[in-house]
């Protein structure tokens, strides 16, 4: 109970509350945006409901994050094991290239192969989100102090046991900070998925930009911003709980 | 029994262990002593295969350690590492109970064993079992490290400076506890120490290393009475060699049986330093001796403390 109360004072709770409030109130804000932008014939985005946009946006980022976490942590573990050590350099380069590659370019390349919609978007998010998780996993595992590692070996933990019981728990806060970076980055990046027909909170932004409708841009941007900040704060809470 | 047979370990151009042969009989305590960097920790790590030798063999009860699965081998060897290495994210109880848990002991037995060991190393179980390592002092952490090594009651114990961070009183208590355990359960122990008095007290066999080589091995008495060279003499004896020799010589060896003296008799199995202490504090130059095993009695006088034939022995 006292835990819940303490949580109620957290910024994460406030920002998520604000996000939900805005999401719930937007459908009734035609009057407000009409007053703000009197020249616009349709001041409120209406091609899809904001709730649908938010759910679809969250699903795309969620699916990408699951893959990114699985693959990213897996790769990070692999290159820090004796068998994978030789791959550390190439993998590092590869993930770095993945990040410098503009996500729009990934979309452009993925669409011919995967068609329009969510699939190429998820693809782009995976490529783009991998680097922070891979490098955080490597950094976290490499930073585990030597003494407990030696003790783990010395008292007879198997290599797998040592990884699961000692290394990963001790590296968890650093790994999680990488996941956090990746998620926040991808909540923003997912908006460009709307250029290839995915339903995201970027849809009003893209349409607003191409149709000179600043009201749409504001509606999309406020939701994306609150979503990203809320996710960031929640993952920060989780990170703190782990340390 | 642990047999090290011409063991060699190289790190780049450093010979950390150089053609080392040593036999530690079952139920005995062997102390490895020597200057920093002489290969003591490396030798321990070769025994439980944390490190693989570049030459030679480790035989454990006659079996080449190289033919045993490392993980299973280590679970039956208690190991106290030099840097303590408690798991920082686990409670003290879980730290100590790790190996029993790995060996599949039921939870209540693990919990009972943990409390038993906390008591043994002088930490109140109720107060310490659920703490995290960072909530303990360095010396307390070290004691938890010793408890962890003893947890599954292994026959073999490797201890790398296990009492280095302890105050003299606690250290004395734990040395006594180790001797008790060893006397009761006949463990085979290899202990690394920088404290020569600790080696003298605990070990029946002391091995002096220098630059990875075994310079001399023998009982504490042998090393003190007949050091192989100036290095050993300085290392094990130093300016206190004569006094340490008293610590390892039983009163019975110098007793004149049949003679009498006034006062409470000293046991023939006690060492000469205790007898000397009694004489100095009692302001007497002669004390009665009783050999409890045979019932014989006699006396020891101050001059008997000096070896009769003039040789150091
Ligand atoms: N993993 C390693 N890589 C390279 N050199 C090492 C390694 N481990 C030990 N050495 C070297 O081997 C030699 C013996 O080291 P070891 O740790 O066995 O010494 P020690 O006798 O335990 O010393 P101390 O009393 O300081 O603990 C030293 O010269 C050390 O620098
Ligand atoms: Mg050492």
Determine the topology of domain A47-210+231-242 in CATH: MetI-like fold (1.10.3720)
Q: Is the pLDDT of residue A134 over 70?
A: yes
CA-based torsion, B276, B277, B282, B287: positive or negative: negative
**Taking CB atoms and an 8 Å limit, are A156 and B74 in contact across chains?**
yes
Spans of all domains in chain A: 47-210+231-242
Chain B interface, best mutation among A140, A151, A172, by max B CB count within 10 A: A151
From A161, which residue of chain B is nearest by alpha-carbon distance?
B102
Q: What is the DSSP letter of A111?
A: H
**Taking CB atoms and an 8 Å limit, are A145 and B88 in contact across chains?**
yes
- What digits encode the pLDDT tens for the residues A45-61? 988 999 999 999 999 99
Average pLDDT over residues B254-266: 89
- Please name which of A110, A132, A113, A135 lies closest in space to residue A193, comparing C-alpha atoms: A110
pLDDT score for B313? 59
Atom of ligand 1 nearest to the CA of B192: 22
Atom of ligand 1 nearest to the CA of B39: 18
Q: Is the pLDDT of residue A170 over 70?
A: yes
- What digits encode the pLDDT tens for the residues B141-153? 999 999 999 999 9
Q: Is the pLDDT of residue B311 over 70?
A: no
Entry pTM: 0.87
- What digits encode the pLDDT tens for the residues B179-232? 999 988 999 999 999 999 999 999 999 999 999 999 999 999 999 999 999 999
Q: How far is CA B236 from the centre of its chain?
A: 15
Q: Count other C-beta atoms under 10 Å from residue A102's C-beta.
A: 12
pLDDT score for B52? 96
For chain B, say whether A148 makes contact (Cβ under 8 Å): yes
Q: What is the DSSP letter of A151?
A: H
Average pLDDT over residues B166-171: 92
For chain B, say whether A70 makes contact (Cβ under 8 Å): no
Pocket of ligand 1 (CB under 6 A): B 11, 14, 16, 36-42, 82
Q: Is the pLDDT of residue B82 over 90?
A: yes
Average pLDDT over residues A155-172: 95
For chain B, say whether A151 makes contact (Cβ under 8 Å): yes
- Please name which of A36, A61, A70, A38 lies closest in space to residue A227, comparing C-alpha atoms: A61
From A162, which residue of chain B is nearest by alpha-carbon distance?
B87
Give, in degrees to the nearest 5, the angle at Cα A30 between A17 and A198: 70
CA-based torsion, B299, B305, B308, B313: positive or negative: positive
Q: Say what the ipTM of the complex is.
A: 0.87
List, in order, residues 6 or more apart from A24 with CB less than 8 Å away. none
């Amino acid at each position: 109970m006292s835990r819940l109360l303490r949580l109620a004072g957290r910024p994460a709770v406030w920002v998520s509350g604000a996000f939900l409030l805005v999401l719930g109130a937007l459908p009734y804000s035609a009057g407000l945006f009409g007053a703000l932008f009197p020249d616009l014939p349709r001041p409120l985005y209406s091609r899809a409901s904001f709730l649908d946009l938010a759910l679809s946006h969250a699903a795309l980022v969620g699916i990408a994050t699951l893959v990114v976490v699985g693959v990213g942590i897996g790769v990070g573990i692999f290159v820090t094991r004796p068998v994978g050590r030789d791959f550390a350099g190439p993998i590092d380069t590869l993930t770095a290239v993945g990040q410098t590659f503009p996500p729009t370019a990934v979309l452009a390349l993925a669409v011919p192969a995967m068609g329009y919609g969510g699939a190429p978007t998820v693809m782009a998010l995976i490529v783009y989100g991998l680097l922070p998780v891979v490098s955080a996993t490597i950094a976290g595992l490499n930073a585990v102090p030597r003494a407990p590692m030696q003790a783990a070996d010395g008292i007879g933990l198997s290599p797998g046991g040592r990884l699961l019981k000692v290394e990963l728990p001790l590296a968890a806060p650093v790994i999680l900070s990488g996941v956090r970076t990746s998620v926040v980055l991808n909540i923003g990046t997912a908006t460009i998925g709307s250029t290839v027909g995915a339903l995201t909170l970027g849809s009003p932004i893209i349409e607003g930009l191409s149709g000179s409708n600043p009201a749409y841009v504001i509606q999309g941007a406020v939701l994306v911003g609150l979503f990203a900040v809320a996710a960031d704060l929640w993952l920060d809470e989780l990170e703190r709980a782990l340390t | 029994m642990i047999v090290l047979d011409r063991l060699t370990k190289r790190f780049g151009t450093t010979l950390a262990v150089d053609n080392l042969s040593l036999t530690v009989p079952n139920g005995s305590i062997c102390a490895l002593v020597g200057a920093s960097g002489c290969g003591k920790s490396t030798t321990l790590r070769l025994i439980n295969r944390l490190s693989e030798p570049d030459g030679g063999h480790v035989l454990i009860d006659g079996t080449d350690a190289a033919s045993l699965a490392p993980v299973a081998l280590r679970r039956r060897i208690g190991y106290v590492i030099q840097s303590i290495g408690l798991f920082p994210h686990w409670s003290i109880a879980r730290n100590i109970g790790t190996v029993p848990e790995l060996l599949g002991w039921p939870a209540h037995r693990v919990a009972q064993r943990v409390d038993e060991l906390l008591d043994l190393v002088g930490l109140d179980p109720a107060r310490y079992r659920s703490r995290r390592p960072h909530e303990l002092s360095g010396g307390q952490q070290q004691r938890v490290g010793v408890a962890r090594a003893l947890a599954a009651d292994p026959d073999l114990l490797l201890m790398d400076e296990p009492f280095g961070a302890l105050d003299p009183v606690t250290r004395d208590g734990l040395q006594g506890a180790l001797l008790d355990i060893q006397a009761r359960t006949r463990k085979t122990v290899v202990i690394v120490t920088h404290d020569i008095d600790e080696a003298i007290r605990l070990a029946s066999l002391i091995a002096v290393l220098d630059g990875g080589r075994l310079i001399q091995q023998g009982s504490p008495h042998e090393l003190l009475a007949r050091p192989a060279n100036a290095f050993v003499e300085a290392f094990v004896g130093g300016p206190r060699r004569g006094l340490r020799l008293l610590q390892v010589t039983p009163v019975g060896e110098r007793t004149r049986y049949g003679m009498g003296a006034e006062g409470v008799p000293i046991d023939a199995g006690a060492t000469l330093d205790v007898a000397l202490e009694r004489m100095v504090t009692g302001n007497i130059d002669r004390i009665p001796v009783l050999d409890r095993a045979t019932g014989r009695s006699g006396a020891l006088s101050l001059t008997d403390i000096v070896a009769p034939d003039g040789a150091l022995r």
